């Protein structure tokens, strides 16, 4: 199989092919593989001139370089996070309701102009918008949800996936830069 040194491919095996290594963030000394070091250097970590790290694609998705301001080799994101208030965009929820005393404007089925109304018979919606001084819901009708306490439980943030092995070519044809 022809491959370039430093090339990354996906394999459907539960083993690493000869002359390839898992993209698991392993550290390799420059002496062990000077050709690969000359191609990827310390993009993924390590000590310049002494050792370097392979890319770590465990639980990650590769993203094309040049598609954003994110440099090659930068790892971002997480497969699990602790949910805290700063994870959520600021937002509000408005509940608009009527007392249901306008029988002529009552509806059996809601539409885009209907407001929740007091239950009587089966007409729960009303087409007349409530006024600022009109009937109000009891204060206990709508309240905060959740405890407000920070949870230390990690939440899964992974998209649906199929596991494959990302591997990097250790010993292949040396890539020559385009002029």
pLDDT tens for 152-174 read: 778 888 888 888 999 999 999 99
Residue ranges per domain, the chain? 1-89+156-179, 94-141
The pLDDT-based confidence of 84 (bands split at 50, 70, 90) is confident
More confident residue, 11 or 178: 11
pTM: predicted TM-score of the whole model, two decimal places: 0.61
Coil, helix or strand at residue 91: coil
Q: What is the pLDDT, as a whole number, of residue 73?
A: 81
110-130 b/e with 16+ CB inside 10 Å = b?
Answer: eeeebbbbeeeeebbbbbeeb
Residues 31-53, mean pLDDT to the nearest whole number: 96
Residue-by-residue DSSP string for 107-176:
ESS--TT-EEE--STT--EESSPPPTTS----TTSS---S--PPP--EEE-PPP----EEEEESSSBPP-
Q: What is the pLDDT, as a whole number, of residue 49?
A: 94
On the question of pLDDT at 123 being above 60, the answer is: no
Q: What is the pLDDT, as a whole number, of residue 58?
A: 87
């Amino acid at each position: 199989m022809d491959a370039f040194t430093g090339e990354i491919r996906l394999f459907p095996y539960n083993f690493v092919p000869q002359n390839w290594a898992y993209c698991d963030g392993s550290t390799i000394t420059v002496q062990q593989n000077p050709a690969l070091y000359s191609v990827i250097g310390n993009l993924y970590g390590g000590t310049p001139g002494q050792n370097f790290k392979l890319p770590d694609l465990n639980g990650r998705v590769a993203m094309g370089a040049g598609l954003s301001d994110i440099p090659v080799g930068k790892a971002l994101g997480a497969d699990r996070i602790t949910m805290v208030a700063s994870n959520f965009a600021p937002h509000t929820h408005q509940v608009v309701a009527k007392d249901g005393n306008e029988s002529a404007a009552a509806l059996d089925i809601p539409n885009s102009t209907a407001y929740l109304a007091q239950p009587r018979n089966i007409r729960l919606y009303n087409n007349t918008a409530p006024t600022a001084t009109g009937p109000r819901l009891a204060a206990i009708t709508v309240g905060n949800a959740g405890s407000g306490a920070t949870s230390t439980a990690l939440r899964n943030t992974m998209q649906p996936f199929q596991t494959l092995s990302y591997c990097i070519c250790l010993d292949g044809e040396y890539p020559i830069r385009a002029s």
